[in-house]
Amino acid sequence: MSWEDNVRKVIPYVPGEQPTGRVIKLNTNENPYPPSPKVAEVLSHYDTDDLRLYPDVHGGELRDKLSEVYGVDKEKIFVGVGSDDVLAVAFMTFFNGRTPIIFPDVTYSFYDVWAELYNIPYMTIPLDDDFRIKKDDYLRTNGGIVIPNPNAPTGCEKSVEDLEYIISNNPDSIVIIDEAYVDFGARSVLPLIDKYDNLLVVQTFSKSFCMAGARIGMAFGNKKLIKYMNDVKFSINSYTMNRLTVAAGVAVLEDMDYLKEVRGKVIATRERMKKELTALGFTFPDSKSNFIFASHNEIAAADIFKAAKQAGIYVRWWDKRRISDHLRISIGTDEEMDAFIAFLKEFINGYL
């Protein structure tokens, strides 16, 4: 017998690389633009005496501001340290049955990690050959449902009507819709939280809000769902939202015009990239997110991934069943994407 027998052994989630130095980073779906200048303004005048005190347990002014901007009662809002934190709490709170929870087979690779960590039985539901979610597959018996919309890493949007069909036909399961990428052109199911008491909508400041480094995520759901999540959170760590982050988050929400402008730029670059990639022999499911999940007609994704990395351009590639012939390419600035396209042209010419 050794202490090691009592260790919780897990295979952790593997985040995308965060290289230092000058590289073109198209591998973790961050926003290529800085957050609103209001953030710098607020932080440069921050009264550091405040840091003496613990922060508000519910995210204080950040939750108030979210309530105002989204028109949702603050008791229906939960904030956490990025949406990973929010999702982890939601998994622990809502998925305690014996029946497996279900989510797509090709999806955010953290879901199965949390399920394993919390001993939640789970089953994956295959996407169709075009990487689409088939709504009727989600009418089977289940202990809960998780669906990202748009899905990651495919970028595919599921319509609000199809999601409502899944939510309304599963009244005895919590359905989590992970809307990390929803602001890049997809429609949100947020208006449905008052209609369905089993719906939890999760969003983040990491992508469309240009704030991955600040770590802010939120969930919207009816008061009862949020209360249950708070009970679990307060059983782990009450003070998750630090005062500096709260101040920065509020500043971002005070500049929604800036956010709209940035989203517009990312969407325009994505649409241009779709044309450029198609011309170079790539195919991909239509993306409504800030990345494109592309496969080349002749060259292995692994080869492009390695060569791009050597050229200082990081994209994401997984050596996994069904997706190993695809690259997930985050949308950067126009200049970054031009550099990537120039690299691809040269590489493809030399390869074929």
82 binds ligand PMP (CB under 6 A): yes
Nearest-approach distance from CB 280 to ligand PMP, in angstroms: 25
Q: Does 145 bind ligand PMP (CB under 6 A)?
A: no
Output 86 or 277, the one with its CB closest to ligand PMP: 86
Q: Which is nearer to ligand PMP, 178 or 183 (CB)?
A: 178
Binding of residue 100 to ligand PMP (CB under 6 A): no
**Residue 172 φ then ψ, to 5°:** -100, 10
Taking the complex as a whole, how short is the minimal distance between the CB of residue 328 and ligand PMP, in angstroms?
A: 10
8 Å CB contact between 29 and 330: yes
Query: Is 249 near ligand PMP (CB under 6 A)?
Result: no
Q: Does 269 bind ligand PMP (CB under 6 A)?
A: no
Cα atoms in the 13 Å half-sphere on the side-chain side of 245? 23
Beta bridge partners of 104: 125
Counting contacts by CB under 6 A, is residue 148 touching ligand PMP? Answer: yes
Residues 113, 145: contact at Cβ < 8 Å?
no
3 state DSSP class of 327 = strand
**Distance of closest approach, residue 317 Cβ to ligand PMP, in angstroms:** 15
Contacts for 112 with CB less than 8 Å, ≥ 6 apart = 122, 124
The residues pairing with 220 across neighbouring beta strands, listed in sequence order, are 77, 201
Q: Is 178 in the site for ligand PMP (CB under 6 A)?
A: yes
Is 182 near ligand PMP (CB under 6 A)? no
Closer residue to ligand PMP in complex, CB, 70/99: 70
Q: Which of 142, 198, 206, 245 binds ligand PMP (CB under 6 A)?
A: 206
Q: Which stretch binds ligand PMP (CB under 6 A): 44-52, 77-85, 310-318, 337-345?
A: 77-85
Three-class secondary structure of residue 51 per DSSP: helix
Residue 183 as a binder of ligand PMP (CB under 6 A): the answer is: no
Cβ atoms < 10 Å from Cβ of 306: 12
Counting beta carbons within 10 angstroms of the beta carbon of residue 53, is it exposed (0 to 12), middle (13 to 18) or buried (19 or more)? exposed
Candidates 36, 142, 170, 204; binder of ligand PMP (CB under 6 A) is: 204
Please list, residue by residue across 145-177, b when 16 or more beta carbons sit within 10 angstroms of its beta carbon and e when fewer do.
bbbbbbbbbbbbbbebebbbbbbeebeebbbbb
DSSP state of 181: T
The residue count for the chain: 352
Residue nearest to ligand PMP (CB): 82
The one segment of 35-43, 66-74, 79-87, 123-131 that binds ligand PMP by CB under 6 A: 79-87
Query: According to the binding rule CB under 6 A, does residue 289 interact with ligand PMP?
Result: no
Using CB under 6 A, which residues numbered 213 to 242 contact ligand PMP? 217
Provide φ and ψ at 189, rounded to 5°.
-90, 10
Q: Contacting ligand PMP (CB under 6 A), which of 23, 57, 212, 267?
A: 212
Residues that bind ligand PMP (CB under 6 A): 82-84, 108, 148, 152, 178, 180, 204, 206, 212, 217
